[in-house]
Structures are given as C-alpha cells and as structure tokens.
Amino acid sequence: MLKGIPDIISPELLKILHEMGHGDELVLGDSNYPAASTARRLVRADGHRMTAVLDAILELFPLDTYVERPVAVMQRVPGDKTPSDVHDEVRAIVRRRDERGDGAVEEVERFAFYARAKEAYAVVATTEKKAYGCVIVKKGVVR
C-alpha cells in the first residue's frame, strides 16, 4: 500500500503513468471504445467510469503546459442526437485540476481521435456507459 494514491489507480496503471514521459498521451476509453485493437499497452479499469479514472489520474499527472489543449474529447458525430453530457463532466474535472480550465479541452472528430489514439502510449479501458466518453490526455512536466 502507498499513501496518497487514489484507490481507483491500479498498480498497473500507476506503473504506466510513471513510465510516461513529457508529451506522451494516454487514452481513456468508454465501454464501446475499441481499446484492445488500438492499444500499444492496455490497462483495464473495469467497473469504473471514465470520469472517475480521469479525476484520479489528474490528481497525479500534470497536463502538458507546452500545448494549448492537452485534453481531447471525442466529438459527437454530426447529426447524432445522443447526448454527450460526459464532456461537461470532463470540463469540470479539468477546471479543478488545471488553471486553463475549459480552454485546455478540445473536441476531436471521431476518426481523427481514433488515429491519434493509435499513437498513444497506452489505453485505459473503462466501463463508462455514457456516449462519447473517451478522452486523450497529454502528460506534462512535474515541477
């Protein structure tokens, strides 16, 4: 056991977060995200919402300050009426964890998101049920 590590962060995920360097990206996928087929390294976070995992990660993980928007959410497909209120939850978490607030978050078109995710250091597969509950975060420098 360690002090100060959120319980939702598994030993495997902690290892991945520690290994990542400045500029590396981490994908947090929802329950429909093709995590196994896109991941270089796959970490399971079954039983957890993406937003809970994101909040715990950002407690330990600095966002990149050398890019304008170190957080990317998957944009809703044009014409899709499915709510994407999970994006509001992501923005609220980022506002608590990063001084840039909403300005640190960008929306990325679905297939561009998939292409970027394939280059990520790792993918965390969550059981987030809300549509468009996928996010990419870029690691910054610990100061």
Annotated catalytic residue, options 18, 22, 48, 87: 22
Relative to beta strand 135-138, strand 25-29 is antiparallel
Where does 29-68 have alpha helices with state H? Answer: 35-38, 50-60
Closest by alpha carbon to 94, among 123, 47, 137, 129?
137
C-alpha distances out from residue 133 to 23, 55, 74, 130, Å: 22, 14, 7, 6
Our answer to whether residue 22 is catalytic in this structure is yes
- Catalytically active residues, by annotation: 22
